[in-house]
């Protein structure tokens, strides 16, 4: 090589190293990713979720989101990011104020619901003076709420959680989008739900979901007849804001351009006297796409902007170090735990499950997720902000030896292995464990820790990582596959009731042959019975106690191995007075946020 070529090669190499360094710092494609950024929190922010009174009226908030919405039709929306726009434009019967995830307030309802003594009838009175946005314009009646819920059974919609929460309505299982006996409207202002069983508490709790936001039948029916429904692209609003639309009410291409942008403007027919929401902002411009590290910086360094999803890991670090006042961290954003096969294989033995729990280093698992800033060590199954959390043990959790050591304890693990019938403290059976985790940071790192922990316990493992949706749909969600360990499954409650946290993942009767969410195939008759009974308990604190007991039972059974209670960071520009929704992973609430 001639001298000059060598020099140039060196230069190129240097540039490469620089590139690698910058890439490690600067790029990330997933939202809270782990890896190199270990953050040790000094003083965790309390989220500002109190509704700010006296906020400045007016202005346009710009939202930068890397992720697009899944659905903007209130009958289909089911993800946190959808709720950001849904709850600014639609008014369900009940909804949460920003600072709570346990006590809903009447929203479209004028007062709390009345439940009959036998628990089979729920009566709700509708607020007067609430009008649909243009072009429908007329006042909302109970029939609109009825239609909204009925369309949940329409296969052209359909609402994913309809059967989970509304199956106890009379005739619901046969409904296909038309009226059914379970919902009646004696007059314009009253809607009555008739149940086949006394499951009023869960039905009532589910009325905070967007399904109960009124939908005008005469306007929506033609769209609901399409396969799939197109109502979302033409929707009308009852909330303080609406998707920008043309005179015919078309939203697609105007107020929502999939993958590109969404625009919320004031609903001209919204009457502030009927609504507790202050609605300071005049307009919300949502920009979709872009590199997460770039948009994070744009928000932090810019003005009148927020990012309304979990920021990239390096951005969280940057915000914590340089823009601390512009970041809020909200607890109760969900959890992550390890599902183990309770039905067959080595983990059908309770002592093996306890040994695994004792052996796992939950601190390490959470470090991979970003450390103390964005996680809490999970010690039982109801998570913070959900009623029952304290009763089930609070942050520390039930004091049993296998739960007492967040960093893992080999001695305790060995004790339980011996109890399980392995005198050496190590597994000596012949079965190779099937472990299926998901790719991407930090799930892959967590899966590796799990794999190693099990190996240390003496297991042979067959360890695979696949795409997250594949992991759920093909492997962990299909009981026939008999996967032994699913290293990081996640759960978030649909509403602030402990049943929403525990029932589907841990009730034996919820095991279904495909799309199963009881990943551990947990089927303990005593626990099942307790759950069925707790389902019928009325009253927030009574339910909290009942379900907290079940939580303790699940811990006693080591039904699954917990490790992470999520806390979600949210970032804003310096001149935004953001208000976050505790019940929606701390996402900024457009109806309460204002500009400084």
For other proteins, the closer of residues 422 and 495 by Cβ is 495
Beta bridge partners of 466: 438
Pick the stretch among 7-15, 178-186, 262-270, 481-489 that binds other proteins (CB under 8 A). 7-15
Helix (H, G, I), strand (E, B) or coil at 261: strand
Q: Is 512 in the site for other proteins (CB under 8 A)?
A: yes
**285 interacts with other proteins by CB under 8 A:** no
Helix or strand run (H / E) with residue 366: helix 362-368
Considering only 374-382, 508-516, 522-530, 576-584, which stretch makes contact with other proteins by CB under 8 A?
508-516
Q: Where are the alpha helices (DSSP H) in 121-262?
A: 142-150, 162-166, 200-206, 217-224
Interface with other proteins includes 336 (CB under 8 A)? no
- φ, ψ (nearest 5 deg) of residue 435: -115, 125
> Are the beta carbons of 100 and 589 closer than 8 angstroms?
no
Span 515-534, contacts to other proteins by CB under 8 A: 515, 517
In whole angstroms, the minimum distance from the beta carbon of 28 to other proteins comes to 11
Which range touches other proteins (CB under 8 A), out of 239-247, 419-427, 467-475, 537-545? 467-475
User: In the complex, what is the shortest distance from the CB of residue 481 to other proteins, in angstroms, rounded to a whole number?
Assistant: 11
CB-based contact 573:386 (threshold 8 Å): no
Burial of 372 (0-12, 13-18, 19+ CB in 10 A): middle
Q: Does 372 bind other proteins (CB under 8 A)?
A: no
In angstroms, the CA 291 to CA 324 distance is 22
Q: Please list every residue from 486 through 505 that binds other proteins, using CB under 8 A.
A: 504
Tally of residues, the chain: 596
| Cα-based distances in Å from 254 to 68, 243, 247 | 16, 8, 11
Near other proteins by CB under 8 A: residue from 295, 359, 413, 493: 295
- Those residues whose C-beta lies under 8 Å from the C-beta of residue 10, and which sit 6 or more positions away, are none
Backbone angles phi, psi at 241, to 5 degrees: -120, 160
Site string for other proteins, 132-171 (x = CB under 8 A): -----------------------x--x-xxxxx-------
> How many residues touch other proteins (CB under 8 A)?
59
Tell me how far, at minimum, the Cβ of 67 lies from other proteins, in Å.
9
Pattern 20-49, other proteins, x by CB under 8 A:
--xx--xx----------------------
| Residue 467 in the binding site for other proteins (CB under 8 A) | yes
Contact window for other proteins (CB under 8 A) among 196-204, 289-297, 357-365, 588-596: 289-297
Q: State yes or no: residue 464 binds other proteins (CB under 8 A).
A: no
Give the nearer residue to other proteins in terms of CB position, either 163 or 411: 163
C-alpha to C-alpha distance for 377 and 78, rounded to whole angstroms:
27
334 near other proteins, judged by CB under 8 A: no
The reply to whether 480 sits near other proteins by the rule CB under 8 A is no
Question: Residue 571 burial (CB < 10 Å; 0-12/13-18/19+)?
Answer: buried
CA distance 190 to 114: 11
DSSP 252: B
What DSSP assignment string belongs to 281-338?
Answer: -SEEEEEE-S-HHHHHHHHHHSSSEEE-SPPPHHHHHHHHHH-GGGEEEES-S-EEEE
The dihedrals phi and psi of 426, each to the nearest 5 degrees, come to -120, 150
Cβ of residue 590: shortest distance to other proteins, in angstroms? 19
Question: Please, which residue, 173 or 283, has the CB nearer to other proteins?
Answer: 173
DSSP character at residue 475: I
By CB under 8 A, the residues from 61 to 120 that bind other proteins are: 64, 68, 70-71, 73, 76, 78
**Segment 235-254, which members bind other proteins (CB under 8 A)?**
252-253
Interacting residues with other proteins (CB under 8 A):
4, 8, 11-12, 15-16, 19, 22-23, 26-27, 64, 68, 70-71, 73, 76, 78, 155, 158, 160-164, 227-228, 230, 232-233, 252-253, 257-260, 287, 289-291, 293-295, 297-298, 301-302, 466-467, 469-470, 472-474, 504, 512, 514-515, 517
């Amino acid at each position: 090589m001639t001298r000059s070529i060598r020099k140039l090669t060196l230069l190129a190499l240097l540039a490469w190293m620089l590139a690698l360094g910058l890439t490690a710092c600067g790029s990330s494609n997933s939202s809270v990713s782990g890896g190199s950024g270990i953050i040790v929190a000094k003083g965790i922010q309390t989220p500002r979720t109190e509704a700010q009174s006296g906020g400045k009226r007016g202005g346009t908030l710009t939202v930068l989101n890397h992720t697009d919405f899944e659905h903007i039709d209130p009958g289909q929306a089911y993800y946190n990011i959808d709720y950001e726009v849904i709850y600014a434009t639609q008014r369900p019967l009940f909804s949460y104020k920003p600072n709570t995830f346990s006590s809903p307030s009447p929203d479209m309802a004028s007062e709390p619901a009345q439940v009959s003594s036998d628990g089979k009838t729920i009566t709700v009175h509708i607020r007067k003076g609430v009008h649909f946005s243009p072009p429908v314009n007329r006042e909302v009646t109970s029939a609109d709420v009825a239609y909204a819920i009925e369309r949940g059974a329409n296969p052209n919609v359909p609402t994913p959680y309809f059967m989970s929460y509304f199956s106890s309505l009379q005739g619901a299982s046969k409904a296909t989008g038309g009226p059914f006996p379970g919902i009646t409207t004696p007059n314009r202002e009253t809607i009555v739900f008739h149940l086949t069983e006394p499951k009023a508490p869960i039905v009532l709790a589910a009325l905070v979901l967007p399904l109960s936001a009124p939908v005008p039948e005469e306007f929506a029916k033609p769209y609901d007849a399409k396969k799939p429904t197109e109502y979302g692209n033409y929707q009308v609003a009852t909330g303080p804001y609406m998707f920008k639309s043309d005179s015919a009410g078309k939203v697609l291409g105007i107020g929502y351009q999939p993958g590109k942008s969404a625009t919320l403007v004031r609903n001209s027919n919204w009457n502030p006297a009927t609504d507790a929401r202050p609605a300071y902002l005049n307009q919300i411009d949502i920009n979709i796409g872009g590199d997460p590290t770039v948009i994070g910086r744009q928000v932090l360094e810019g003005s009148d902007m927020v990012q309304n999803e979990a920021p990239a890991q390096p951005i969280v670090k940057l915000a914590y170090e340089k823009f601390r006042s512009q970041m809020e961290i909200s607890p109760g954003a969900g959890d992550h735990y390890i599902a183990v096969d309770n039905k067959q294989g080595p983990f059908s033995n309770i002592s093996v499950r306890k040994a695994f729990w004792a052996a796992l280093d939950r601190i390490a698992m959470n470090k991979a997720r970003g450390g103390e800033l964005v996680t809490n060590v999970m010690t039982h199954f109801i998570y913070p902000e959900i009623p029952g959390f304290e009763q089930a043990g609070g942050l520390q959790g039930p004091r049993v030896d296998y739960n007492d050591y967040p960093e893992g304890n080999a001695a305790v693990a060995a004790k339980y292995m011996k109890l399980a019938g392995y005198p050496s403290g190590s597994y000596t059976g012949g079965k190779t464990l099937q472990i299926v985790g998901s790719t991407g940071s930090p799930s892959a790192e967590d899966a590796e820790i799990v794999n190693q922990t099990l190996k240390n316990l003496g297991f042979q493992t067959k360890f695979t990582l696949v795409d997250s949706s594949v992991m759920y749909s093909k492997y962990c969600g299909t009981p026939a596959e008999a996967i032994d360990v699913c290293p990081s499954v996640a759960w978030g409650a649909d509403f602030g009731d402990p049943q929403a946290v525990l029932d589907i993942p841990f009730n034996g009767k919820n095991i279904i042959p495909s799309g199963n969410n009881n990943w551990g195939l947990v089927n303990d008759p005593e626990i099942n019975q307790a759950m069925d009974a707790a389902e019928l308990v009325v009253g927030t604190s009574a339910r909290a106690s009942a379900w907290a007991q079940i939580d303790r039972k699940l811990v006693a059974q080591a039904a699954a191995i917990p490790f992470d209670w999520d806390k979600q960071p949210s970032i804003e520009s310096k001149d935004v007075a953001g208000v976050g929704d505790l019940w929606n992973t701390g996402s900024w609430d457009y109806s309460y946020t204002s500009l400084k």
